[in-house]
A and B are shown apart, each in its own frame.
Chain A
Amino acid sequence: MTGQTIARRPNQLFRNLNAKIASIPMILTAVVIFLGGTLWTVVYSFTNSKLLPRLSFVGFDQYERLWAATRWTVSITNLAIYGVLTLIFSLVIGFVLAALMDQKIRFENTFRTIFLYPFALSFIVTGLVWQWVLNPEFGIQSVVRSLGWTSFTFDPLYNADIVIYGILIAGLWQGTGLVMCLMLAGLRGIDGEIWKAARVDGIPTWKTYLFIVIPMMRAVFVTTLVIIASGIVRVYDLVVAQTSGGPGIASEVPAKYVYDYMFQAQNLGQGFAASTMMLVTVAIIIVPWAYLEFGGKKRG
């Protein structure tokens, strides 16, 4: 017994030694680049660095200025609207499309390719395509007007009140196909016996989906949620390509604020403060969720 415990100690450290050595570069990358870079950014966000980083601390000045800036509040509001709606719509549309595809329809491969195709395009291309589609001079508005409805107006990208929805349309068009594919994979993972059992019990199809299948797809939903959420926080190129933040500052997003102030305004401190705020926002959402998700399991 005692011999076993003595032998176990070196075992723990050297077990799977090869795997541990192999993962050292990745661990170093994670610690030095991700963690180190993050800490560096947070530290320098308390300085008045301009074009080049320098350590002269000014306390919370950068943050005060940040939260007083209209452009930042507009950016945060836009991100919230875009985030919540993207989450809801891409999950709902993605799941409905997947459920429809799951009805053993003909040409499933063709449809799947069509729906997934936009995802193969970069955000820049997506943004440009939708900039043209939504342009009042030669997009939807001009097509409808040429059909006879001359007073038809549809110019979301040039209307400050609804511009973020114009961006949302493009984002959904690009991302929903992927959500659909993930959902479809999840649906295919559900055992056919469950469907049979549900049918025997006389449960309607929609109820089977809602109360049996969806709870069983929890893992797929979590994966999808993480993929969508990370896409939301870093939304940048779509806005740059579609509106470059306009009209005025109506479609600005936080990532663009960070970039513009770091490089165009040559004010690193302000850019770092903004990116730290983005990190804090993400942490506020992620930490409680991770606690519930992973902390709960240990107790259970």
Chain B
Amino acid sequence: MTLRILAAVMAASVALPLASARATDLEVTHWWTSGGEAAAVAELAKAFDATGNKWIDGAIAGSGGTARPIMVSRITGGDPMGATQFNHGRQAEELVQAGLMRDLSDVAEKEKWKDIIRPASLLDSCTIDGKIYCAPVNIHSWQWLWLSADAFKKAGVGMPKNWNEFVAAAPALEKAGIVPLALGGQAWQSAGLFDVLLISLGGKDLYEKVYAQKDADAISGPEMAAVFKAADDARRMSKGTNVQDWNQATNMVITGKAGGQVMGDWAQGEFALAGKKAGTDYACLPGLGVNEYITTGGDAFYFPLLKDEAKSKAQAALASTLLNPATQVAFNLKKGSLPVRGDVDLAAANDCMKKGLDILAKGNVLKSTDELMSADIQKQKEDLFAEFFSSSMSAADAQKRFAKIIASAD
């Protein structure tokens, strides 16, 4: 038995270099390392390997905040990978302007990306000076409230239908020893939660006034004050979470230790991995059940400019593989995100994904904060909300400081 395994391993180690000698190796870096994410990325690798090339996985553990500096310094330092994940938006803007990234316009034209990618704003974020520099792979929206059926049963209250009912149910949950709202300690989660409150409670117009037009009156206005008030509620409800990573917080919802979590639809991958069923074991409320709008940020692959001819060809092959209908379905089902093309069949999608697809079809989409603001402003915002959610800073003070940060945006 062991001998046979040994023989197989040896055969594999001999076969591997042979296979890769014919195919072109392409190193792809990304930060998809949680259980559900890893399963999804394996689908991409499988599809790319089927084209005769070889996917060399360069997963970087930690969140995007850890991985992006490594990716950027590899590209600027002259050691570019074959392809790399970024969130589409302004994260790679300067790299493109410095001429370090590959223009994908030829692939995009051949495959008619303009016609198939939906919503069109996704491709717009990839376009700089009329040229396309990235291949979007999925749509991730932040605006979801995940609720644990077990937790509410234990507390003896009905499942809330929207944010206000959830806030009202919080004391009952607390009495049952359940943390009402799970919120991981990392800064981006606090900032993300606030943005969700802004869109869902403040509505589309307020969101656009604040982040797109950066309207000073709206930012200091009473509508915004109400959003900060809601953030104050969320802060009270999240006391006692005591975990760092988002998937640990999601796990609290899965195991019924927490009532709910505001997190993007990537959380769904974790529910699926734990064998939970949407609608019975957990519920999802897009737009917190108030304003059903979603932002269409997400992940995209960027391709550094390479000198190697064979590798450039492999990059083009990868770009077209990523947008292939079959790949889109396989990848997004595992990832819990929505496909970037409207013409694929997602019959296998679960309840929550169907809700997301509906909203997408209705066109209730907004640009994500990644697309509207630079990394610098985002980071300052993260610092502010990290402080807000862990201290007793008053909502009014937070609003003042928030206004100052947005006013300095470029």
Contact = CB atoms under 8 A, between A and B. Distances in A.
A277 B82 CA distance: 38
Interface string A212-240: 00000000000000000000000000000
Interface string B354-392: 000000000000000000001110111001001111110
Contacts of A264: 65, 68-69, 375, 379
A18 B394 CA distance: 68
Given A137-B242, A249-B383, A266 B374 contact: yes
B186 A265 contact: no
Contacts, number: 84
A248 interface: yes
Nearest to B95: A51
A266 B386 contact: no
Given A137-B242, A248-B388, A250-B391, A263 B68 contact: yes
B391 A265 contact: no
A174 interface: no
Nearest to A70: B387
A245 B383 CA distance: 10
Contacts of B69: 259, 262-264
A37 interface: no
Contacts of A248: 190, 386-391
B94 A266 contact: yes
B379 A51 contact: no
B244 A244 contact: yes
A50 to B, nearest CB: 6
B76 A52 contact: yes
B185 A52 contact: no
B98 interface: yes
B378 to A, nearest CB: 7
Contact of B73 (A246, A247, A260, A263): A263
Interface string A257-277: 001111111110010000000
Contacts of B378: 265
B94 A50 contact: yes
B386 A50 contact: no
Nearest to B408: A65
Contact of A247 (B91, B95, B185): B185
Q: Which of A52, A158, A249 has its CB near the most chain B CB atoms (within 10 A)? A: A249
B375 A266 contact: yes
Task: Assign chain B's interface to a size class.
Answer: 20 to 34
Interface string A50-73: 111000000000000100011100
Contacts of A260: 379
B72 interface: yes
Interface in A21-76: 50-52, 65, 69-71
A217 to B, nearest CB: 43
A160 B390 contact: yes
Contacts of B383: 69-71, 249
Interface in B203-253: 242, 244
Contacts of A158: 242
B307 to A, nearest CB: 20
Contact of B386 (A249, A259, A262): A249
Task: Assign chain A's interface to a size class.
Answer: 20 to 34
Contacts of B242: 135-137, 155, 158
Contacts of B73: 263
A260 B380 CA distance: 10
A246 B375 contact: no
Contacts of A70: 383, 387, 401
A248 B91 CA distance: 24
Q: Which of A69, A247, A264, A265 has its CB near the most chain B CB atoms (within 10 A)? A: A264
Contacts of A160: 390-391
Contacts of A263: 68-69, 72-73
B351 to A, nearest CB: 32
Interface string A147-182: 000000001001010000000000000000000000
Contacts of B190: 248
Interface string B382-410: 01001111110000000001000000100
Given A51-B94, A158-B242, A265 B375 contact: yes
A51 B73 CA distance: 10
Contacts of A261: 376, 379
Contacts of B374: 50, 266
A265 B376 contact: yes
B379 A249 contact: no
A149 B82 CA distance: 57
Contact of A265 (B76, B380, B386, B408): B380
A167 to B, nearest CB: 15
Interface string A192-206: 000000000000000
Contacts of B98: 52
Contact of B185 (A50, A244, A265, A270): A244
Contacts of B93: 51
Contact of B387 (A51, A65, A71, A266): A71
Interface in A114-138: 135-137
A265 B379 CA distance: 5
Nearest to B389: A248
The 6 A-B pairs of least Cβ separation, nearest first, read: A248-B390, A263-B69, A265-B379, A247-B390, A51-B94, A266-B375
Interface of A: 50-52, 65, 69-71, 135-137, 155, 158, 160, 243-250, 259-267, 270
23 contacts: A51-B93, A69-B383, A70-B387, A158-B242, A160-B390, A246-B186, A246-B390, A248-B388, A249-B387, A249-B390, A261-B376, A263-B68, A263-B72, A264-B65, A264-B69, A264-B375, A264-B379, A265-B375, A265-B376, A265-B378, A265-B379, A266-B91, A266-B94
Given A246-B186, A248-B391, A264-B65, 16 more contacts: A51-B72, A51-B375, A70-B401, A71-B387, A135-B242, A136-B242, A137-B242, A160-B391, A246-B185, A246-B386, A247-B390, A248-B390, A260-B379, A261-B379, A263-B72, A267-B376
